[in-house]
Amino acid sequence: MTSGDRTELIRTAFEAMVPEFGTPKRSSVRYRDELDSTVVVPLDDDDENTEIHPVFRLSHHFRSRDDYEKGYTSNPYRGDHISVPAYIGIDEEVVVFETSFHKGFTFVEVVTFPEADKDSSLYQAALSLLRAEETR
């Protein structure tokens, strides 16, 4: 970490907050239609609430090396995975996009936290970190 670069500290803080949001819900990423690579992540059954703001700077590559590193989202796959935090939707919900690899298989999922108290100071702090680190 270079002088003044706080990315690792911010990533660590964000990753410590996420488990407090409750049991993660994993869903396969789907696309708007077969000919379009636009990802659709509907929230609360609202197909229009899909604006995605990934925060690539806080991405984290978890290497398995047969130690089964689950990361901060309790990733269920034994191989490597990369977690890309984001906030989505008009209501700004914290999510994590994950791509996992295990024995030649690839899984692309979005992890949501339906049990999270979105009004809590912890959840709002996580959103603030994501907004501050997002590349626009």
11 contacts 130 by C-beta, under 8 angstroms:
no
pLDDT-based confidence at 103, cuts 50/70/90?
A: confident
pLDDT band at 85 (very low <50, low <70, confident <90, very high): very high
Q: Give the mean model confidence (pLDDT) for residues 7-28.
A: 94
**What pLDDT digit, counting tens, does each position of 50-65 carry?**
678 899 999 999 987 6
Say how many C-beta atoms besides its own lie within 10 A of residue 76's C-beta: 14
**What is the model's pLDDT at position 60?**
94
Structure tokens at 113: 């936290």
